[in-house]
């Protein structure tokens, strides 16, 4: 990290100490050109890729999927089956990569961990994930852009927490929710910000809550102290933020408070991930790394259902932030139905035969 970046990071770390300074910084960010952002996203969405590149993109997209079930009717059996599919998405093809993570409610974490743990030695306190382009110091210290801890069996175990999806609960409840998920085996936590506080301009309250949840995940010193450490994805619920300027501010707020990922949506509101919103978030993580030297991941979630959709996002990642983010450690898709479409398209490219949707298990 350069001296300039080190100084900038130090200056930015002080913002959380003052509501006034935090507000001034967030409202001093450049405004988003709505028309320009939407035109740029639409333009990138028209890019086509050749067959060989498409095959590589499909495998990469599979590795980036957070295979998710977040329903009130979830059962241990359903979660175990989902975890098994995460490890072997296409049992008939051993060359098919595993997904990035399984994402479930805290109460379902033990059942997913039971399946994932059976395939590997367990979750070390720190270390790069399989195929990661970014290493991690052996002493567990946090590099400028730390990859997530290695998941069980190569697949991460994510849990939503903090009164998902509304985020409307006392802080102590949210902290208990987070700690319980981590202790049960989650190595990633997807938290939701308090949108009411954010939209009311109580940025310090949102900042402090993210910092507290980060600490409940284990904090930066967890690897050295032998405690479990979960990486933190901060859900902005962009469909409720009303403007692209608010999306940019919320992205910076989450990163300043220590979020390892910023995520678009819970998938529980009508407007979930969109290409323009993801573009704004990608620009934010790019600018944040330029200012601080720390890399933060991005996770669009909700509404991404087809291979064509996924490839549009991958093109946008490459064109906006470059290949450093084209890795499951730095970009994920929050999805359930997307995986089956990726598998169908993968089979078509390999065999020339298009498998129907009933060929793969329904999630």
Residue 134 pLDDT exceeds 50: no
What's the domain range around 250?
Answer: 3-359
- 222 three-class SS: helix
What integer pLDDT is reported at residue 153 of this predicted model?
Answer: 60
Residue 11 pLDDT exceeds 80: no
Q: How far is CA 227 from the centre of its chain?
A: 22
> Averaged over 147-157, what is the pLDDT?
66
What integer pLDDT is reported at residue 2 of this predicted model?
Answer: 54
> Averaged over 335-341, what is the pLDDT?
91
What integer pLDDT is reported at residue 226 of this predicted model?
Answer: 53
The 10 Å CB-count burial string (b at 16+, else e) for 176-185 is ebbbbbbebb
> Averaged over 15-29, what is the pLDDT?
90
Residue 172 pLDDT exceeds 90: yes
pLDDT confidence bin for 197, thresholds 50/70/90: very high
The larger pLDDT score, comparing residue 153 to residue 343, is at 343
The larger pLDDT score, comparing residue 8 to residue 268, is at 268
The larger pLDDT score, comparing residue 358 to residue 189, is at 189
- Tell me how far apart the alpha carbons of residues 103 and 188 are, in angstroms, rounded to a whole number: 9
pLDDT confidence bin for 357, thresholds 50/70/90: low
pLDDT confidence bin for 47, thresholds 50/70/90: confident
CATH at residue 50: 3.20.20.70
pLDDT confidence bin for 115, thresholds 50/70/90: very high
What integer pLDDT is reported at residue 52 of this predicted model?
Answer: 84
What integer pLDDT is reported at residue 290 of this predicted model?
Answer: 95
- Tell me how far apart the alpha carbons of residues 305 and 263 are, in angstroms, rounded to a whole number: 17
pLDDT digits (tens, 9 = 90+) for 301-330: 999 999 999 999 999 999 999 999 999 999
- Tell me how far apart the alpha carbons of residues 99 and 78 are, in angstroms, rounded to a whole number: 17
Q: Which residues are catalytic?
A: 190, 263, 299
> Averaged over 110-121, what is the pLDDT?
82
What integer pLDDT is reported at residue 137 of this predicted model?
Answer: 31
- Tell me how far apart the alpha carbons of residues 92 and 239 are, in angstroms, rounded to a whole number: 39
pLDDT digits (tens, 9 = 90+) for 86-113: 999 999 999 999 999 999 999 999 999 9
Other beta carbons within 10 Å of 56: 13
The percent of residues in the chain predicted with pLDDT above 70, rounded, is 83
Number of domains the chain is built from: 1
**Any idea which of 69-78, 162-171, 352-361 has the lowest mean pLDDT?**
352-361
pLDDT digits (tens, 9 = 90+) for 213-256: 999 998 545 544 555 589 999 999 999 999 999 999 999 999 99
| Average pLDDT over all residues of the chain | 86
pLDDT confidence bin for 17, thresholds 50/70/90: confident
**Residue-by-residue DSSP string for 94-152:** TTSPP-SEEEE-GGGHHHHHHHHHTTSS---SS-PPTT-SS---TT----TTPPPPPPB
What integer pLDDT is reported at residue 228 of this predicted model?
Answer: 58
Residue 203 pLDDT exceeds 70: yes
């Amino acid at each position: 990290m350069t001296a300039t970046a080190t100084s900038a990071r130090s200056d930015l770390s002080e913002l959380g100490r003052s509501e006034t300074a935090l507000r001034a910084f967030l409202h001093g960010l450049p405004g988003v050109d709505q028309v320009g952002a939407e035109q740029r996203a639409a333009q990138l969405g028209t890019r086509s890729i050749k067959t060989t590149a498409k095959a590589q993109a499909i495998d990469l997209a599979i590795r980036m999927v957070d295979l998710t079930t977040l329903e009130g009717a979830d059962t241990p059996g359903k979660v175990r089956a989902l975890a098994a599919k995460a490890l072997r998405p296409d049992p008939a093809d051993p060359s098919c990569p595993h997904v990035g993570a399984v994402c479930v409610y805290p109460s379902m974490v033990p059942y997913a961990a039971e399946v994932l743990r059976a395939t590997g030695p367990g979750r070390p306190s720190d270390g790069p994930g399989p195929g990661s382009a970014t290493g991690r110091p052996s002493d567990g210290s946090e590099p400028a852009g730390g990859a997530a801890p290695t998941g069980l069996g190569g697949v991460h175990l994510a849990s939503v927490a903090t009164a998902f999806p509304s985020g409307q609960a006392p802080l102590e409840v949210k902290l208990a929710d987070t700690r319980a998920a981590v202790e049960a085996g989650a190595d990633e936590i997807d938290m939701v910000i308090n949108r009411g506080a954010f939209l009311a301009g109580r940025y310090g309250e949102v900042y402090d809550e993210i910092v507290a949840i980060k600490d409940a995940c284990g904090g930066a010193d967890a690897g050295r102290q032998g405690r479990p450490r979960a990486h933190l994805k901060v859900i902005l619920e962009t469909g409720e933020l009303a403007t692209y300027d608010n999306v940019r501010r919320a992205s910076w707020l989450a990163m300043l408070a220590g979020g390892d990922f910023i995520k678009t949506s819970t998938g529980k509101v009508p407007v979930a991930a969109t290409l323009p919103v993801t573009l704004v978030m990608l620009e934010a993580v790019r600018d944040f790394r330029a200012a601080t030297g720390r890399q933060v991941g991005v996770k669009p979630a909700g509404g991404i259902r087809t291979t064509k959709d996924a490839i549009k996002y991958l093109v946008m990642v490459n064109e906006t932030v470059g290949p450093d983010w084209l890795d499951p450690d730095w970009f994920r898709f929050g999805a359930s139905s997307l995986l089956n479409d990726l598998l169908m398209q993968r089979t078509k490219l390999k065999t020339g035969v298009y498998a129907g949707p009933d060929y793969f298990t329904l999630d």
